[in-house]
Structure 1
Amino acid sequence: MNVNSIPFNKVNTLKSVGRLKINDDFNHAINFINDTFYPQILGGGWMFRENTTNCSQLPQSGVAIIFVCRGRWKQLNNTLSTLIPLLQTQHLCYRIFVIDQEGDGLLNKATLFNVGFVEARKRFDFNCVIFHDADLIPLDDRIPHSCDDEVRKHAMHLSVGVSTWNYMLPYRSLIGGVLKISTDHFILANGYSNSYWGWGGEDDDLEIRLRASNIHYVHINSSIGRYLAQPHAKQIRSNGKLRQKLLKNAKKLFHHDGLNSLKYKIRLYSENLYFTYFLISLK
């Protein structure tokens, strides 16, 4: 697939309905998309526009959506079965990337997000990126996924209301879950830290990086930014003392810990029907 273009499909039947109803049994079948919507482009890309194949020709340019997934394939399947029709309803030019970590050691989600960003830029023309937890299903098709003028001004926290938190923001500086940010701002903040192994801390670190880089962020309207959190096995938490030390020194460390210090190897790469997949070694 050309790095600067992506095939398009035109769908006239998709209409916004606002709040979505999701089955509580989490038994979603992604295969129905083939029958209900136009077939997906290999690699998880799609464009709503006739007679054009370049995202830059659209008023709202391309958006890359990046998931980290290791052992949560059922949850990812459920999320995509709702997210893909939602993205097409919004008439976007998008491509989905899924990043997996080799082995069974501690997960480094932040580094994998960095890898996804770097590799996505080699394969797709986009001006903003959405970092999306695999287990969060969007509950409103008005959640703004487009790369519009607003996200060029400030980062946008989309998952303001998550079911596990009774659809309330637990603390004002939380930006984890689903975050939309321009490529320029993400590069300016040097991406995520690569130092957080295990669960927790990387999102708070990014929030500190944004403030230190004079990048503003906003939480979208809580009545729209609602997500259903699917049950999953708990991850191993990172070392608490080390995590607090990293957060305390985040302003000092972020200039040389992030996109500019990224080290990884691609073990497997494939362009699937619904996403582009990478298996990454961080050793």
Structure 2
Amino acid sequence: MPVAASALSWLAVAGRSSSSAMTRLMLGRTLERICKGVLLLCLLHFLIMMILYFDVYSQRFDLFSRFNNGRNGSRNNVSGAAGNGHHFYYYNLSRPNATLASYAATGEQVVPSSQPETNQTPSPKPLPPCPENPPGLVGRLLIEFSSQMTMERVQKENPNVTEGGRYTPPDCQPRWKVAIIIPFRHRENHLKYWLHYLHPILRRQRIDYGIYIINQLGEDTFNRAKLLNVGYTEALKEAEYDCFIFSDVDLIPMDDRNLYHCYDQPRHFAIAMDKFGFRLPYAGYFGGVSGLSKKQFLKINGFPNEYWGWGGEDDDIYNRITLNGMKVSRPDVRLGRYRMIKHERDKHNEPNPQRFNKIQNTKNTMKKDGISSLTYRVVQVKRYPLYTNISVEIGKPPPRPFKG
């Protein structure tokens, strides 16, 4: 038994000695790894310091060489080229990120290059044409006039519209540059609703447009067609428009797929008003909202100037279109639906008793009565955030012939 106990005691001591040796071995290996890591870090630090040292040394060497070159150049300039009026310049291309502009900013002299520097700024890529059928359209719209509308609210709703009621799509090249012209007098409340609905519609349609309110000053008889001629003329002073849409301020489209741009033929947009039971009242109707390209407008000599009071001018325009070999184009009746803001007939806009006689004589009058004979006086042009207001005097109607 004593021998066995002694043997066990020896084994225990040997086990502890072996465990202690293993621990020292692992500790030694760990310390060895740490030392190697520290050594590598020191070596890396040394290499970085050497690189920085030589970089600074080279720059200092460059500085002295430029100073000496400058002095030598000055001597050469004085001794050899002063009489010729030439100067010797230097331009150190070894400096990192050195450019012609950076040297000019510090007052350093620069060697004129034998080849002119090219502008390194990449030119912006041309925008793609706007799609014929814009993808963001909603379709049928809910139009109502019961909620309170303010100009401040409309302005907040349309932050991308610039002063004067101008907008152009930022991501595509519009196919038309459109001036939207509204004949106007004493319809401020209607205008708020028109702007509230039309600005978002036009933006979704990806149209480059400007909105022009042509305000007839005074209380003489209203002349819608003459105001439209004024709008055409004044809008062209603002921009090179090639499409003109003429809209009453109380008509709101009920579908944004009724695209407000010009077509191959003169366009009649408002073909189904709630006022007429969403039907075209008669085949030759061209009222409410219409559009003509600049070429089409000039071909018919614009609109008549001598329709004072309500009615007749739309039929005269329709006659001008057909007499000049064009046809009126219209959208599908489901797209050309409009709501009219209900209102009483304006004062000094009573039905024109001469309208029927004038309509019958369009062929004889259209060449001398139109954009070519337009006279008016601009009193004020004011650009608001959502539209441009042009206040004009357009004269008075001629005295009516005495009956009896």
TM class, shorter-chain normalised? 0.7 to 0.9
1:83 alignment counterpart:
198
- Asked if structure 1 preserves the Cα contact closer than 8 Å seen for 2:180 and 2:209, the reply is yes
Q: Is structure 2 residue 152 aligned with structure 1 residue 41? A: no
How far off its partner does 1:31 sit? 3.1
Q: Could you say what secondary structure the match of 1:64 adopts? A: strand
Residue 269 of structure 1, aligned match among 366, 381, 384: 381
Q: Give the CA deviation at 1:24.
A: 4.3
Verify: 1:118 aligned to 2:230, yes or no.
no
Closer, same or farther: CA 278–36 of 1 in aligned 2, 3 Å: closer
Q: Residue 28 in 1 paired to residue 149 in 2?
A: yes
> Which one-letter code corresponds to 1:35 in the other structure?
K
* TM-score relative to the length of structure 1: 0.87
Distance 2:278 2:242 in 1: 29
Tell whether 2:372 aligns with 1:260: yes
Equivalent of 1:162 in 273, 276, 287? 273
Find the residue that maps to 1:31 and give its secondary structure.
Answer: helix
- Alignment CA distance shift 1:154-1:260 (3 Å): same
Matched, 1:193 2:304: yes
Write out per-residue CA displacement over residues 234-273 of structure 1, whole angstroms, 9 at most, x where no aligned residue: 0333432x21111111111000000000010001111111
Q: What amino acid is aligned across from residue 321 of structure 2 in structure 1?
A: L
Contact 1:33–1:39 (8 Å) recurs in 2: no
State which of 382, 391, 394 in structure 2 corresponds to 1:282. 394
Letter in 2 for 1:205: D
Q: CA deviation at 1:26?
A: 5.7
Percent identity reads 32
Whichever residue aligns with residue 133 of structure 1, its letter is D
Q: Give me the whole-angstrom Cα distance separating, in 2, the residues matched to 1:17 and 1:30.
A: 24
Please give the root-mean-square deviation of Cα atoms over the aligned residues, in Å.
1.6
SS in 2 for 1:219: coil
Give 3-state SS (helix, strand or coil) of 2:390's partner. strand
Contact 2:286–2:315 under 8 Å retained in 1: yes
Q: Who is 2:224 aligned against?
A: 109
Give the whole-Å Cα distance in 1 for the aligned partners of 2:390 and 2:247: 16
Counterpart in the other structure of 2:285: 174
Q: What is the one-letter code of the residue matched to 1:182?
A: S
Q: Check conservation: 2:182, 2:213, Cα contact below 8 A.
A: yes
Partner of 2:77: none
**Larger strand fraction of residues:** 1
Deviations 1:42-62 (A, max 9, x none): 111000024x8xxxxx35121
Letter in structure 1 aligned against 2:237: K
CA 1:246–1:162: 2 relative to 1, 3 Å: same
Task: Tell me if the contact between 1:26 and 1:230 (Cα under 8 Å) persists in the aligned partners.
Answer: no
SS in 2 for 1:68: strand
Show CA shifts across 1:181-213 (max 9, x none).
111001110111001001100000000011111
Structure 2 residues not aligned, in runs of 5+: 1-134, 396-404
3-state SS of the aligned residue for 2:175?
coil
The code of the aligned residue for 1:158 comes to F
**Do the aligned partners of 1:107 and 1:197 also contact (CA within 8 Å) in 2?**
yes
Instruction: Answer with 32-41 or 242-251: which moved more.
Output: 32-41
C-alpha displacement at 1:92, in angstroms? 1.0
User: Per the alignment, do residues 28 and 40 of structure 1 end up closer, same or farther by CA in structure 2, a change over 3 Å counting?
Assistant: same
What is the aligned partner in structure 2 of residue 127 from structure 1?
242
Distance 1:176 1:82 in 2: 20
Provide the C-alpha distance between the structure 2 equivalents of 1:73 and 1:35, rounded to a whole number of angstroms.
Answer: 18
Q: Does 1:68 align with 2:183?
A: yes
Q: 1:226 to 1:75 in 2, by over 3 A?
A: same
Distance 1:49 1:192, change over 3 A: same
Contact 1:199–1:238 (8 Å) recurs in 2: yes
Aligned positions, number:
259
What 5-or-longer segments of structure 1 have no aligned partner? 1-13, 53-57
In the aligned structure 1, how far is the partner of 2:241 from the partner of 2:147?
31
Q: Which is richer in helix? A: 2
2:360 to 233, 241, 248: 248
Q: Distance in 2 between matches of 1:127 and 1:18?
A: 26
**Match of 1:7?**
none
Distance 1:59 1:70, change over 3 A: closer
In 2, are the aligned partners of 1:132 and 1:179 still within 8 Å (CA)? yes
Indicate whether 1:223 and 2:349 are aligned: no
Alignment equivalent of 2:140, drawn from 4, 19, 27: 19
Could you list the structure 1 runs, at least 4 aligned residues long, displaced by more than 6 angstroms after superposition. none
Instruction: Indicate the residue corresponding to 1:203 in structure 2.
Output: 314
